């Protein structure tokens, strides 16, 4: 089981939701987990619960993540941090585009650049990129989010080519709707967001996503689980719409 071969992990977006669940799951396997997030209070609570090592850090802080990545080797890298600003490109603003690109894509590229070469040198490692079903399917009003997640999806495939010949595995996790507080963060209305997107639905839990990641890591070293799409049974992405021409 590869868990026995791995000692350290770096998890971003670790203070809540899927990220916190991943930290909890990996620490159960005896991994020394370095948890990265901006919320120091939530990180402290997570550290008390799991024994993880916390780093209050924005993944957009290139100097900060560079220092962290160079401080020690990491056997597992989980790129989980992500943000969303719903909106069509027709009404997008520069600040929103930059925020999504910096967190969802730029930070992932830099962390891979900083961590993966060490994995290649040691002939051991696993990169987990948490993207979204938005990487493959289109929803109304999430143009920049779709673009950044699609880029992470392609990066995940390309990394397998970059590390070819080495025992470095790459897994892309593509969740659909999961019962977390992400919608509250996106819409800034925790109570109504929970009622609209979570309450009454049969949804995967954050721990289910963490278990899927554990499955990919625990697979025999001869096996790379490259892509896992996880959606509620009662959620179907896609659809077909047709409209008549509109007078301009």
Angstrom distance (rounded) from CA 150 to CA 144: 10
Angstrom distance (rounded) from CA 88 to CA 173: 25
In a domain? residue 158:
yes
In the sheet that holds 125-130, the strands lie side by side as 53-56, 32-37, 8-12, 76-79, 125-130, 168-175, 227-230
How many CB atoms are located within 10 Å of the residue 85 CB? 16
DSSP-assigned letters across all residues of 206-247: HHHHHHHHHHHHHS-TT----EEEE--TT-------------
In a domain? residue 9:
yes
In a domain? residue 246:
no
In a domain? residue 178:
yes
The SS3 call for residue 95 is helix
* 188-217 pLDDT per residue, tens: 666 777 888 888 999 999 999 999 999 999
197 part of the active site: no
Domain that holds residue 74: 2-230
What's the pTM value of the predicted model, to 2 decimals? 0.94
In a domain? residue 248:
no
Angstrom distance (rounded) from CA 4 to CA 162: 25
Q: How does the average pLDDT of the chain come out, rounded?
A: 94
What pLDDT score does 215 carry? 98
Angstrom distance (rounded) from CA 100 to CA 60: 10
CATH number for the domain including 128? 3.40.50.720
With pLDDT > 90 as the criterion, what percentage of the chain qualifies?
Answer: 81
Angstrom distance (rounded) from CA 111 to CA 247: 48
* 36-84 pLDDT per residue, tens: 999 999 999 999 999 999 999 999 999 999 999 999 999 999 999 999 9
In a domain? residue 239:
no
182: phi then psi, degrees, rounded to nearest 5? -60, -35
Residue of 6, 137, 145, 197 marked catalytic: 145
How many CB atoms are located within 10 Å of the residue 144 CB? 22
Asked whether the beta carbons of 208 and 229 are under 8 A apart, the reply is: no
| C-alpha dihedral, 151 to 156 to 160 to 162, nearest 10° | 50
The pLDDT confidence band at residue 185, using thresholds 50, 70 and 90, is: low
- Average pLDDT over every residue of 180-193: 70
In a domain? residue 193:
yes
Q: Which of 41-45, 86-90, 135-139 has the highest mean pLDDT?
A: 41-45
Question: Is the pLDDT higher at 247 or at 16?
Answer: 16
Q: Which of 76-80, 117-121, 144-148, 194-198 has the lowest mean pLDDT?
A: 194-198
Q: How many domains does the chain have?
A: 1
In a domain? residue 183:
yes
What pLDDT score does 107 carry? 98
DSSP secondary structure code for residue 104 in this structure: I
């Amino acid at each position: 089981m590869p868990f026995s071969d791995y000692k350290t992990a770096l998890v971003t977006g670790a203070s809540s939701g899927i990220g916190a669940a991943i930290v909890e799951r990996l620490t159960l396997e005896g991994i020394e987990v370095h948890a990265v997030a901006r919320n120091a209070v939530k990180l402290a609570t997570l550290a008390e619960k799991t024994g993880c090592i916390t780093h209050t850090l924005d993944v957009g802080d290139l100097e900060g993540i560079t220092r962290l990545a160079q401080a020690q080797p990491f056997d597992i890298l989980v790129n989980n941090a992500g943000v969303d600003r719903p909106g069509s490109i027709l009404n997008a603003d520069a600040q929103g585009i930059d925020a999504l690109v910096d967190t969802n894509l730029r930070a992932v590229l830099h962390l891979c650049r900083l961590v993966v070469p060490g994995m290649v040198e040691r002939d051991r490692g696993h990169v987990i990129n948490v993207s979204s079903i938005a990487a493959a399917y289109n929803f109304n009003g999430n143009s920049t989010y779709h673009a950044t997640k699609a880029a992470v999806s392609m990066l995940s495939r390309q990394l397998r080519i970059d590390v070819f010949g080495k025992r470095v595995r790459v897994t892309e996790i593509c969740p659909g709707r999961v019962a977390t507080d992400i919608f509250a963060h996106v819409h800034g209305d925790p109570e109504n967001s929970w009622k609209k997107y979570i309450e009454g639905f049969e949804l995967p839990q954050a721990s289910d996503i963490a278990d899927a990641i554990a499955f990919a890591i625990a697979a025999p070293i001869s096996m790379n689980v490259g892509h896992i799409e996880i959606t509620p049974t009662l959620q179907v992405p896609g659809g077909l719409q047709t409209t008549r021409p509109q007078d301009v």
